[in-house]
Structure 1
Amino acid sequence: MSHDTTTGWPKDFVWGVSTSSYQIEGAAQEDGRAPSIWDTRCRLGKIANGDSGDVACDHYHRYREDVALMKELGIDAYRFSVAWPRVLPKGKGAVNFKGLEFYDRLIDELLANDIEPWLCLYHWDLPQALHDIGGWAVRDSVGWFEDYATLLARRYGDRVKKWITFNEFSVFTLFGYAIDWSAPGITDRDTHLKAIHHVNLAHGAAVDVIRAHVPGAVIGAVHNRQAVWPEHGKEENKHAAALLDEHWNRAFPDPQLLGYYPPMLGQAIEPYVQAGDMARICRPLDFFGLNHYGPIFAKVDDNPNSTWGFAWGEAPADADKSELGWAIFPDAFRDELIDLTHRYKLPIYVTENGCGGGDTVDENGQVIDNHRVTYLKRYTASMHEAIEKGADVRGYFVWSLLDNFEWGSGYGPRFGLVHVDYETQKRTKKASFDWYANLIKSTHGA
């Protein structure tokens, strides 16, 4: 890969930001949108402070203002997701044209500002209507997703060339079907295994659909990958770490890119695999999307009702941590990028990386988020080091453009480069916004 000798970054390196539909759009009951499983989870009182995505950042109405911020930031690309229940309220069947038209407007606004749209089909907001008839636990879900992908490919493929099938497969399946941390909040081993396999099949079906309908499509999937280490390095936690590693890091990219499940999971999932399934899952891709924050620590789960027998452990007491308590290990990011290049042999785009905290507007109307600036400096430096050591990294997207609805944590943690006052919806650029803008400018030779 050629490098720009003036900046030290690969030529045509893509700088961007990422968001997701339920976390920023709001307008949850407007223009024909139906509930998703996350709307339902919010109604059940499972979210901190009783928060919900009903309004979120009101991006549905304020997308032009947000695209203007992206333009000012200087990004090349914007990764966003489509809300399945906004365009297909029942998940299948009748199309909601007002929903489709919103994404037409957003895509056109991005292109008018020289920002490339990177469209993610699924960022966790399964239509509640589909969950009610089995959701990812039933094999019919593969066909539902294939039809949904066809609709979007045919609608937007003339303008969108960068496509992502799913965001963080392991998170929404593990936390939604084995550990009650996410929607739909099921804790059942067999249901979890079925969901893993059906989501993998749905991914493969979507890849084929996009290839068929979008000339020149560049297709990938986004995986969360972090090193899994045994808590305190203890021997008794090593098996738990190995099993969590299979679920967290390998349950999806291995079958999708290598054609097989990792060994322990593969044995458990075998009853649900039919002839021809692995070929349907393992479809040629153009890039690997990586979401990475920091390593995770595993320990044995002594709870007899534990679905898998592993649990999240504590980072070492002396480890650097974010304001949210997440471990900060830039060297682990560097190593992950190098390992991924060797393992899967695809160009890598870092589709999420960022730092959460409790940012506030000071008396001067500023948000001085030095903790985030420091984090981004360290992680982009480690990414640069990985590239120098041979990692094939082609782009980097910060999570996130805006403070937003952070799933079960509600509106407490803030990850944005832009502060959002949720009462007034006022946007305030943070110090990290300026830092990132300057980084991008320097690599563009401006």
Structure 2
Amino acid sequence: MKKVLCIFSSFWSPVILLHVLLGGSLELCTGQNENGFSRNCFPPNFIFGAGSSAYQVEGAAYEDGKTPSIWDTFTHAGKMPDKSNGDIAADQYHRYKVNVKLMADTGLDIYRFSISWSRIIPNGRGPINPKGLEYYNNLINELTIHGIEPHVTLFHYDLPRTLEDEYKGWLSRKIVKDFIAYADVCFKEFGDRVTTWTTINEANVFVLGSYQMRYNPPQRCSLPFGARNCTSGNSTTEPYIAAHNILLAHASTARLYKNKYQDKQHGVIGINLMTYGINLLTNSIEDIAATRRANEFYVGWFADPLFFGDYPESMKRNVGSRLPSFTPYEAKLVRVSCDFLGVNHYGMLNIKDNPESLKIQQRDFNLDMAALQIADWSSPGVVLPDFPGTPSGLQRDLEYIKQVYRNPPIYIHENGQTSSRAARDTSINDTSRVAYLKGYIEGVLDALRNGSNTKGYFT
């Protein structure tokens, strides 16, 4: 029997815990529940929800006209550590009504999901698949009937395989035109019921995992970099090229939405980044500077162009000619492209200065940053031992964005705890995850009290 990629069984545990933690109480925040807070402690328009991605939940990988994405070919080549794939996954393609009913029973305000590009436009460009439109219309309608607002992500890593084969996907400027055309179909078909759009999920992690470290498809990297043997790619240049094209695709899509749809659909559009709650290892002047650099490389790489129109000075200085540049028109286009910033957060990185890395002639992103990363975090895509989390990391990220980027609206799109399969299978007394969610939600509440413009939290 084939192993399948499935997250909905583990998805509902934190969702239900979120409901329990917040309670159904209408009491004032001064009369908090046993968790130390209630939903009433948050602003009236603050939303709580949960999220998923198309490849992790839909299944029906080869049904009704859908063609392979780079994740289909990646998993079928046996590249997942447990040899799983998304052919069936949580079977949401067939079970969406059951899943939406569970969401409604749980009390979710919002469900964030991504659209599979190759289900909508099987060849990446050209003819539209009516069965693909039908599925997403059915899902959106079911959510609406149950009073759950859909938040839609246009790209969550699963690029149509045809575009990767034809022109190497995000490494080519051709992707900008094709992404705009795909987004236009989504805005036209679903925008009357979807008013919150995210263009790209975890843009920074996507390019590093796919074009430097070779963790994710299309698995490009070059020696001596990369997590596994590198057979194609260039870790010194390709992450920067892909990131630049992602920024241009996002900005051009946002311009389309704002010019053609926003006035009549009354929606907003943004992009999503992973943040790390970066913490200095010591109080030395050098480590303080390294921490600032790490924030600029991980977050500022995308956020600086989005809010200021150019890459951080530290990146331009350390990366040099390998870092693409914006024309004046592109800089303006990118700078006015975000109505909100989506944030994914799972844990922290401790940072230590590493100036010797800049003496190495052939450098990748990590060496360019000139900082050593000491991880204290858990990736949601990897099964690790139980991880307690450090709630101050998310609060630190929210405070950082408020101070550096003029306090834009923020949605915390992903936050949660990875635990081992053994821990999930042997106990329903999930005290570790309860403590994780409680700590992080309290951190969000503290950030709100300090003036953060955070609008919602998704487990």
TM-score, structure 2 length as denominator? Answer: 0.78
Q: Which residue number corresponds to residue 256 of structure 1? A: 306
For residue 49 of structure 1, give the secondary structure of its aligned residue in structure 2. coil
Equivalent residues in 2 for 1:395-414, closer than 5 Å = 395-398=456-459
Q: Is 1:377–2:438 an aligned residue pair? A: yes
Superposed CA RMSD? 2.7
Equivalent residues in 2 for 1:117-196, closer than 5 Å = 117-132=150-165, 133-187=167-221, 188=234, 189-196=236-243
Provide the identity percentage.
34
Q: Which residue number corresponds to residue 275 of structure 2? A: 225
Q: Once the two structures are superposed, what CA deviation does each residue of 1:26-48 show, in whole Å capped at 9, x if it has no partner?
A: 11111111111111221232211
8 Å CA contact 1:231–1:314 kept in 2: the answer is: no
Taking a change above 3 Å as real, the CA distance of residues 242 and 52 of structure 1, as seen in their structure-2 partners, is: farther
For residue 365 of structure 2, give the secondary structure of its aligned residue in structure 1. coil
Equivalent residues in 2 for 1:289-368, closer than 5 Å = 289-298=342-351, 307-310=364-367, 312-315=373-376, 324=385, 326=387, 328-344=389-405, 345-357=407-419, 358=421, 359-361=423-425, 367-368=428-429
C-alpha displacement at 1:213, in angstroms?
A: 2.1
Q: Is 1:77–2:77 an aligned residue pair? A: no
Alignment size in residue pairs: 388
Equivalent residues in 2 for 1:273-284, closer than 5 Å = 273-284=326-337
Q: Once the two structures are superposed, what CA deviation does each residue of 1:229-278 show, in whole Å capped at 9, x if it has no partner?
A: 46688999878766543332111111112211112333535545344221
Structure 1 runs not aligned, ≥5 long = 317-321, 399-446
Aligned partner (choices 67, 89, 92) of residue 125 of structure 2: 92
8 Å CA contact 1:295–1:327 kept in 2: the answer is: no
Tell me the distance in 1 between the aligned counterparts of 2:103 and 2:151: 14
Aligned partner (choices 256, 261, 273) of residue 213 of structure 1: 261
Residue type of the alignment partner of 1:356: T
Q: Which residue number corresponds to residue 393 of structure 1? A: 454
C-alpha displacement at 1:163, in angstroms?
A: 1.0
C-alpha displacement at 1:306, in angstroms?
A: 6.0
> Which sits farther off after the overlay, 109-118 or 132-141?
132-141
Taking a change above 3 Å as real, the CA distance of residues 305 and 68 of structure 1, as seen in their structure-2 partners, is: farther
8 Å CA contact 2:205–2:273 kept in 1: the answer is: no
Using CA pairs under 8 Å that are at least 6 residues apart, name the structure with larger relative contact order, 1 or 2: 1
> Which sits farther off after the overlay, 219-228 or 152-161?
219-228
Structure 2 runs not aligned, ≥5 long = 1-25, 30-39, 222-233, 378-382
Equivalent residues in 2 for 1:10-21, closer than 5 Å = 10-21=43-54
Aligned partner (choices 139, 142, 161) of residue 106 of structure 1: 139
> Which sits farther off after the overlay, 331-340 or 381-390?
331-340
Tell me the distance in 2 between the aligned counterparts of 1:342 and 1:241: 16
Tell me the distance in 1 between the aligned counterparts of 2:74 and 2:45: 41
For residue 111 of structure 2, give the secondary structure of its aligned residue in structure 1. strand
C-alpha displacement at 1:329, in angstroms?
A: 1.4
TM-score, structure 1 length as denominator? Answer: 0.80
Taking a change above 3 Å as real, the CA distance of residues 241 and 36 of structure 1, as seen in their structure-2 partners, is: farther
C-alpha displacement at 1:343, in angstroms?
A: 2.3
8 Å CA contact 1:15–1:75 kept in 2: the answer is: yes
